[in-house]
Structure 1
Amino acid sequence: MMVDVSNQYDVILDVREDRCPMPLLKAKMALSKMQAGECLCVISGDSGSLRDIPQYVALVGFSLLSLSEEERIYRFVIQKN
């Protein structure tokens, strides 16, 4: 069961219906429009996101604040630095 997180993040990106590489591409696009210090919550149903998103976040120097999984739905919380 998904918990309502709408007021905890600056941007919520729901890409549960998308497959690789779209979750990562959409996350990149969302982050490019955000200000430093803002948080993005990415909700993905693609297991490839488990590799792609943390790798990208580390590469560009952002912070992966949390990563959780519930019933094959992956939630990433990224802070743009």
Structure 2
Amino acid sequence: MKIVREILNDLKVWKDNPGRKPLILQGARQVGKTWILKHFGEQFFENTAYFNFDLQTEIKDFFEKTKDPVRIIEFLSIINGRPILP
């Protein structure tokens, strides 16, 4: 459980940084990356959105076609069914 608390603390530091960059979490398969991020989102944000590029291939295809952040947010908002706010 200590590791979970440490990871959540690191994520909270990232969240509280006003100049934070997008978060990319990498690691081995089946170690809890998705779980920890969903848990963190529920605990520290009013709204969260989850996208799985493996299961939602239209998202992967879209990212291969554009790098425009405004278009990406608009597209993800449509997929999410709710606005995604910066």
Specify the TM-score bucket, using the shorter chain as the normaliser: 0.3 to 0.5
Q: TM-score, normalised by structure 2?
A: 0.37
- Normalized per residue, the structure richer in strand is 1
TM-score by length of 1: 0.38
Larger radius of gyration: 2
Greater share of residues in helix: 2
The structure, 1 or 2, with the larger RCO (C-alpha pairs under 8 Å, 6+ apart) is 1
